[in-house]
Amino acid sequence: MLEIRHLRKSFGPLVAVDDVSFAVERGRLVGLLGPNGAGKTTTVSMIAGLLTPDRGDVLVGGARLAGDTDPKKRRIGLVPQDLALYDEMSARANLRFFGALYGLSGAALDKAIASALDLVGLADRIHDRVSSYSGGMKRRLNLAAGLLHDPDILLLDEPTVGVDPQSRNAIFDNLELLKSRGKALLYTTHYMEEVERLADRIVVVDHGRVIADDTLAGLQSRVAGVGGGRATLETVFLTLTGRSLRD
Amino acid sequence: MALIPLAAMVRKDLQLFFSDRRSVIVSFVVPIAIASFFGSIFSGPGNNAEPARIAVSIVDHDSSAISKAIVAAADADKNFRLTRPDEAGARDAVKRGRTSAAVIIPQGFGDAAGNAFFGSGEKPALDIVYDPSRSIEVAMVRGILTQHVMEAVSREMFGGEQGKKLIAQTLPQLASSTMPAEQKRALIDMLASIQKLYDQPPAPGAAPPRRGITVPYTVREEAMTAGSNIAYNGYAHSFGGMAIQFLLFAMANAGIEMLLERQRGLWKRLRSAPVSRLTLLAGKGVSGTLISLMILLVSFAFAIIVFGVRIHGSIAGFLSIAIACSMMAAAFGLLVAAVGGTPATARGVTTLAVLMMVMLGGAWVPTFIFPAWLQQLTMIVPVRWAVDGLDAMTWRGIGLSGAVVPTLVLLGFAAAFAALAAARFRWEER
């Protein structure tokens, strides 16, 4: 569904992403892991069309994504790390606006809003201003905004930052459901347990390069666990990326 | 350009603008309040009202016929609000800013002025103590006083008792003076003729002839407004100026809001959608133009209803200037978003930029009070064209032709600002 081929992006002398390639299949969730500054967000930004790659391609359903108005962008939904919502407007007004950006209007838009809010459990707060929402509710609405136009591919950039366990669990349930509906999900996070629970495949990047692309079991088989048991993902991650602090 | 996203962007921006009560008050109520204040100052007295008088005090140490005549004339002058304190009180009133000037007539002023009138005596000094912060009023006091002194002295010299006495004293002195003989003869002849004139009785039943020097003309003033029966309405200028100032502030704020939207990650959503850059900028431009136009039209509607401002020129011309001005302001907002850096730095810089534009553009005070070089320089300020254009369509009563150049210039500024904004806008989101 989503294929990344040899992506490269530099900012002046800094090479943020260098020759990154991986793929996300239908009904699968790929966890994109890496320390701070590893190139995760830059990679997601290039896939979403926020940044133009210096080199390489993003393929959606086998076709190369090109330009701001490429209709294939409709097949991608972005859930950014920031709570990208208008606090001064209601949930409905926010979703009406974001839906219209994808050409949705009238009854189709209303149906999409109802469906997205229903999925994230906010249907009863549809008319409330976002400023009155809790942090967890805002995170769920952030997810709903990315899902509104029913994309085939969902890019989730640390979607559970600052969320209480209940909301986090609700988001996980939503993602499981989306997977079961055949969506391809790319998920970046610093929380190893989230990836352990959700990911079918894990891509680890560091210094802008892919250093591992495997299943959880495959990664665990590379590193010996404590007392000869199975290594945790965190142990695997620290083994692959090192223990030096990243800023 | 995709219409659904464009309309959604415009609707969303209008919704956000009107949901912020403070920005609505600042954009609509504050300009009306300030324009009302400025309008009341710059409107002048109108057709029937009394003009504002200059506060002046006079101290007469002389008490001669001439000094009394000067005081009486000043007291009757409609330009002055005259008081008669003692000298210490007069000086204190100027020092405290209660009067613009104090005129002190020294002892012997009348006699000395009479002698000097025919060129034979030393000119006496008339002391004027003035408030240096009110130099324009002091210049008026000086000019008006010159007229009253000349009239009082000449009237007395050509018919008053003091004049007769002075001529009677001067004639014998002239005979023994060292003046050249020819000049002496001419002066004696002139004074003798004046003496003869004093002695002639007026014709039976006729009023005594008016003597002395008077201003040899009267002034017929005609204010060049939209029509002969239409008084200048200063509210037209003040409402135009203030509305432009606050729509520029509103648009600068809209630009800063775009920077805040970027900080909050909202531009990531906008840019990830299949919407062109042109649509994104046009959406902002259209919403900015509509908000600016509303500010301008609401301000003028208030001025029309409450202060009787009228569009004496062309309504189509007025609307074309209003729309072009609104487009210019909206494009200015885009420019702020494009080159503003962070919201904090943009706020400081744009406040300064807007204040400079409105000050140099004549939105606060008319540009004619600027030095000539500055008047020329302000032609590069878009506000100048907007203010002059709106003045032309309102109280000056100039037709549609008077709107063409301001409209085109404002559209030119709008295009230049928008092009620069598009070129400098940061499209990549990290």
**Full DSSP string of A127-142:** TSBGGGS-HHHHHHHH
Backbone angles phi, psi at A77, to 5 degrees: -115, 140
Does A84 reach chain B within 8 Å, measured CB to CB?
A: yes
Number of C-beta neighbours around residue A132 at 10 A: 11
pLDDT tens string, chain A, 247 residues long: the values are: 899 999 999 998 888 899 999 999 999 999 999 888 888 999 999 999 999 999 999 999 889 988 888 899 999 999 998 899 999 999 999 999 999 999 999 999 999 999 999 888 899 999 999 999 988 899 999 989 999 999 999 999 988 887 888 888 888 888 898 899 999 999 998 888 888 888 999 999 988 899 889 888 888 887 766 666 777 888 877 887 776 766 6
Would you say A187 and A16 are in contact if contact means Cβ atoms under 8 Å apart? no
Contact check, Cβ <8 Å, B19/A84: no
What contacts B342, CB < 8 A, 6 or more positions away? B259
The beta-carbon contacts of A226-235 under 8 Å, at least 24 apart in sequence, are: A232/A192, A232/A196, A233/A192, A233/A193, A233/A195, A233/A196, A233/A202, A234/A192
Q: CB-based contact (8 Å) between A169 and chain B?
A: no
Structure tokens at B284: 């902002």
Q: Once rounded to an integer, what is the mean pLDDT over residues B271-289?
A: 93
Collapsing DSSP states into helix, strand and coil, what is residue B204?
A: coil
* Pick from B269, B274, B430: CB nearest A74: B274
- Identity (one letter) of the amino acid at B172? P
A44: distance to nearest CA of chain B, Å? Answer: 9
Contacts of B336 (CB under 8 A, 6+ apart): B251, B252, B254, B255, B256, B258, B259, B346, B350
pLDDT higher at B254 or B181: B254
Give phi and psi for B124, each to the nearest 5: -80, 155
| pLDDT of res. A98 | 95
Residue ranges of A 118-157 with Cβ closer than 8 A to chain B? 145
Q: Please provide residue B145's backbone torsions phi and psi, each rounded to the nearest 5 degrees.
A: -65, -40
pLDDT tens-digit readout, B17-32: 988 888 888 888 888 8
Q: Quick check: A51 and B268 CB within 8 A?
A: no
Within an 8 Å CB–CB cutoff, is residue A104 touching chain B? yes
Complex ipTM: 0.88
pLDDT tens string B366-415: 777 788 888 888 899 999 999 999 998 998 888 899 999 999 999 999 99
Residue of B nearest to A73 (CA): B274
Please report the pLDDT score of residue B1 as a whole number.
62
| Phi then psi dihedrals of residue A173, to 5 deg | -60, -40
Extract the tokens encoding A12. Answer: 């002046």
Q: Is B5 in Cβ contact with A82 (below 8 Å)?
A: no
DSSP string, B22-67: HHHIIIIIHHHHHHHHHHHHHT-STTTSPPPPEEEEEEES---HHH
Alpha helix positions (H), chain A: 40-48, 91-101, 106-120, 135-147, 165-180, 192-198, 216-220, 233-241
**Beta-carbon separation of A71 and B16 below 8 A:** no
CB atoms A50 and B272 under 8 Å = yes
Strands A209-214 and A201-206, how do they pair? antiparallel
Query: Is the pLDDT reported for residue B107 higher than 80?
Result: yes
Note the pTM of the prediction, 2 decimals. 0.77
Interchain pair B4, A70: CB under 8 A: no
